[in-house]
Amino acid sequence: AAITPLLNAMENTNASVFVHVISDVASAGTLIMMAADNVYVNPYSQLVFHQSSFGLYSVSSTVEAAVTHTLKSTRELIRNSYKYFFTSEELDRMLNGVEYFLNKEEFDERYARRNEAITAEIEAAKVAAPLEIKKPRTKKTNPVQLSE
């Protein structure tokens, strides 16, 4: 997916990544949101989550091969990016064409539940294999102070 380099950069930076949604977000924009360390959604914003969309124009065998490859990789990306945010059943429906439309309140509820699940998963992994846990990246926690 074309968004992969940005998602990888967000995952590997030592900086804290904050996303402020000021309007509507859909498609790859939701993947960016989910890769951030913190997300704030303005009231009245609408969020649309769906399976990948793309278009190709070429020889039919090339189109078929590209679609097969793209679907495989984007399905994995969607499952990993939206893990705990959507249920397994919701992800199955999304990957079969269902779109999910969320407002701020719905997003905030799911996002908080997702973050709790991720924290619990990390804590369980620490208990299960304390020496095998990769040290988490150091994140900046204080905003940059600008002098006047």
Q: At what angle do helices 28-35 and 60-81 cross, to 10 degrees?
A: 30
- Put the strands of the sheet holding 47-49 in their side by side order: 25-26, 47-49, 100-102
Burial category of 56 from C-beta neighbours within 10 Å (exposed 0-12, middle 13-18, buried 19 and up):
exposed
pLDDT tens digits, one per residue of 15-61: 999 999 999 999 999 999 999 999 999 999 999 999 887 777 788 88
Q: Is the model's pTM score more than 0.85?
A: no
User: What's the CA angle centered on 72, arms 62 and 46, to 5 degrees?
Assistant: 110
pLDDT tens digits, one per residue of 56-99: 778 888 888 888 888 888 899 999 999 999 999 999 999 999 99
CA–CA gap between residue 127 and residue 104 (Å, rounded): 35
Report the chain's mean pLDDT, rounded to a whole number. Answer: 86
Under a CB-based contact definition with an 8 Å cutoff, are residues 50 and 94 in contact? Answer: yes
3-state secondary structure of 63: helix
Question: Taking the CB of residue 147, how many other CB atoms lie within 10 A of it?
Answer: 3
